[in-house]
């Protein structure tokens, strides 16, 4: 099979659907909708027939790898070629990011890379927290959907709270605000927390990724946990299931997420040579 860069991700539509179908759990939204679309995509061709794809980010890491069921016998050799050959169109790659919900891709990474570590934890609701029929959960905190006029304040808040880069935040938050997916909690006229619930236009359309940032001065009050619970309630009222993730080293976030009724079912693994 030949490896060629594709002109548009749209060419991979059918294969992307097959890729999502083989996942054993919903994939992390930031990777799926944020990082993957920005990566360079390559198609695997048998003649003119497309039999698979991969994508590599600007740092040289594989983010997705898929070979169609009819061409599975080619998958190991293709992966080896992409991962190791200096003259390969997509490589040589430095490593890979893959979730434990992507078992075929994960197995190939174990075969071809020598070191790995957990990059992030992927959470789903545990199903044991108190919950009534859809639409019955109460939203407790007076959160407000942010408008375009709030964008500068939201950017400044997130930069101070978590050190996120201004340029990235501008585009990311603008998109969330346009979709009605970014919410703020104000106290005495000051933004003290922001919560987001990112939906999907394709693939995981019955899920939404939730996240929260709390001002450093307001941490320890339980706001992060309550905001997550409120976002879950909002999503349930819309018929959506909530998922979330956090970095493996962010212990405080992990505690808040667990208290909100989530458990870490899967991991995102970083592989290196």
Of the candidate ranges 25-29, 72-76, 221-225, 246-250, the one whose mean pLDDT is the lowest: 72-76
Give tens-digit pLDDT for 95-133: 999 999 999 999 999 999 999 999 999 999 976 555 544
Rounded CA-CA distance 88/163 in Å is 37
Alpha helices in the chain (DSSP H): 13-22, 29, 75-84, 103-112, 151-162, 166-178, 223-237, 251-259
Inform me whether the pLDDT recorded for 48 exceeds 90.
no
pLDDT at 28: 96
Give tens-digit pLDDT for 139-178: 899 999 999 999 999 999 999 999 999 999 999 999 999 9
Rounded CA-CA distance 61/58 in Å is 7
Domains and CATH numbers, the chain: 2-113 (3.40.630.80), 123-265 (3.40.630.30)
- Strand order across the beta sheet in which 190-198 lies: 2-5, 40-46, 49-56, 61-67, 95-99, 262-272, 115-125, 241-247, 207-214, 190-198, 182-187, 144-145
């Amino acid at each position: 099979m030949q490896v060629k860069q594709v002109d548009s991700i749209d060419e991979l539509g059918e294969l992307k659907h097959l890729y999502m179908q083989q996942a054993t759990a919903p994939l992390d939204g930031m990777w799926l909708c944020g990082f993957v679309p920005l990566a360079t995509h390559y198609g695997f061709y048998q003649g003119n027939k497309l039999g698979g794809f991969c994508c590599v980010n600007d740092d040289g890491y594989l983010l997705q790898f898929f070979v169609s069921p009819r061409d599975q016998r080619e998958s190991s050799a293709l992966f080896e070629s992409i991962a190791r050959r200096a003259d390969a169109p997509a490589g040589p790659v430095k490593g890979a990011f893959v979730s434990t919900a992507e078992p075929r891709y994960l197995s190939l990474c174990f075969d071809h890379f020598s070191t790995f570590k957990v990059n992030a934890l992927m959470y789903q609701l545990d199903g044991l927290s108190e919950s009534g029929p859809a639409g019955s959960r109460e939203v407790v905190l007076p959160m407000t959907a942010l408008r375009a006029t709030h964008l500068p304040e939201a950017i400044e808040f997130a930069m101070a709270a978590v050190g996120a880069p201004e340029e990235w935040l501008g585009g990311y938050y603008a998109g969330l605000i346009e979709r009605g997916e970014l919410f703020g909690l104000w106290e005495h006229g000051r933004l003290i927390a922001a919560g987001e619930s990112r939906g999907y236009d394709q693939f995981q359309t019955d899920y939404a990724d939730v996240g929260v940032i709390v001002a450093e001065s307001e941490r320890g009050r339980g706001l992060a946990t309550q905001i997550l619970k409120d976002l879950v309630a909002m999503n349930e009222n819309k018929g959506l299931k909530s998922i979330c993730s956090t970095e493996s080293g962010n212990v405080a976030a992990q505690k808040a997420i667990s208290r909100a009724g989530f458990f870490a079912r899967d991991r995102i693994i970083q592989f290196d040579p």
